[in-house]
Amino acid sequence: SAVISQKPSRDICQRGTSLTIQCQVDSQVTMMFWYRQQPGQSLTLIATANQGSEATYESGFVIDKFPISRPNLTFSTLTVSNMSPEDSSIYLCSVAELGRSFFGQGTRLTVV
């Protein structure tokens, strides 16, 4: 099973600033996924990141707000830009392997 290291695990940020979340996988994977999970809520897919191409964003999420990098097959970053309190949430990266998804530990973001 894939092992995913995600950092930071948590952060408190000022509104208007940006935070970059990093995700490292212990094996090469084609697609990496970024989710948002608000407290007590379900997981909402933000975007799918493929190596060598632009990320594919889900409805309601845009590249200017959530730019994603995917420089190689084991690493990806998600930036939350120009943050507001509404961006306070848990952000999770994920990979899929043999019909199952594996998740990083998550980044708990609080915007003040």
Q: Which residues of the chain form contacts with another protein (CB under 8 A)?
A: 31, 33, 40-45, 48, 59, 92, 96, 99-106
CA distance 56 to 106: 21
Answer whether 69's CB lies under 8 Å from 51's CB.
no
State the minimum distance, in angstroms, from the CB of residue 45 to another protein.
Answer: 6
- For the chain, how many helices (H) and strands (E)? 0, 11
**Residue reference for tokens 């609080």:** 110
Nearer residue to another protein within complex by CB, 17 or 101: 101
Nearer residue to another protein within complex by CB, 40 or 85: 40
State the minimum distance, in angstroms, from the CB of residue 62 to another protein.
Answer: 17
